[in-house]
Amino acid sequence: MNADIGSSKSSTLATHLTELRDRLIRVLAALLISTLCLMPFSQDIYSLVAGPLLQYLPEGGSMIATEVTSTFMAPLKLVLCAALALSMPVFLFQLWGFIAPGLYRNEQKFGIPLLISSVLLFYLGIAFAFYVVFPLVFSFFSGATPEGVSYTPDISLYLNTVIKLFLAFGLTFEIPIATVLLISSGITSRKALIEKRPYIIISCFVVGMFLTPPDIISQALLALPMIILFELGLFFSLFVKENKND
């Protein structure tokens, strides 16, 4: 009988590993397809992302490439990041498909809206960074250039900063989802989070300091949405049932 139980467990584990492998293959395939589809448009993507900085450069100014491979590797890195963002829904839905069978039916119904919301919020964070943060930050940097200094940013360093900001704001906009999940799972309670609100606000500014360039504008533009999104998470947690662990 023990042998049958052990065999059953081994079979179940093998089934889960096979399913995990298949889902990872689908995610990698989506990433590869997205990359191949975006490669012909690498220069267009670069021009789009570089736009918020180029418009604030002095007349006749341009970015520079200080490394031999920068003109090729920088746009390629940007394409890979764009492909990753484009295939994010596939990754999340594959992750959901893997863990959903182990959840209760009411948890599954609750999970689908959260999954869709997390995808939309991630893209909303990227859009906020591009249309709101970038113009303010790059206008500040360009205007702060001392007289007699030529403002010619390096293409690789610029794209590294842009990708970092995209990721920071994309993940930051997931705060309402994280807040709701923490409360609904019983890890913490709405009351406890409200009591810790002052510490959370301070933490938002600390996180903004580490995730953004060393200027007060971008730090505040990350910290303030984090605080607002945390409050939104608390609001939406009113509509979910708390799983109180004794």
pLDDT in tens, the chain (246 residues): 444 554 555 667 777 778 788 889 998 999 999 999 988 888 888 888 888 888 877 776 677 777 777 777 888 888 888 898 888 888 888 877 777 676 667 666 777 777 888 889 889 999 998 898 888 888 877 777 777 677 778 888 888 888 888 888 888 888 888 888 777 777 778 888 888 888 888 888 888 777 776 667 777 888 888 889 888 888 887 776 666 554
3-state class (DSSP) for residue 63: coil
Length of the chain: 246
| Cβ partners under 8 Å of residue 49, min gap 6 | 78, 130, 159, 162
Task: Tell me the three state secondary structure of residue 154.
Answer: strand
Using CB atoms within 10 A of its CB, is residue 246 exposed (0-12), middle (13-18) or buried (19+)? exposed
pLDDT of residue 127: 92
Q: What is the rounded CA–CA span in Å between residue 71 and residue 76?
A: 9
**Cβ atoms within 10 Å, residue 240:** 15
- Output the pLDDT for position 246: 44
Distance CA 158, CA 66 (A): 12
Q: Report the predicted TM-score, pTM, of the whole model to 2 decimal places.
A: 0.78
**Secondary structure letter of residue 131 according to DSSP:** I
Tokens of 44: 């267009």
pLDDT of the residue at 65: 77
Q: What is the pLDDT of residue 47?
A: 85
pLDDT for residue 205: 85
* Rg value, the chain, Cα: 22
pLDDT at position 29: 92
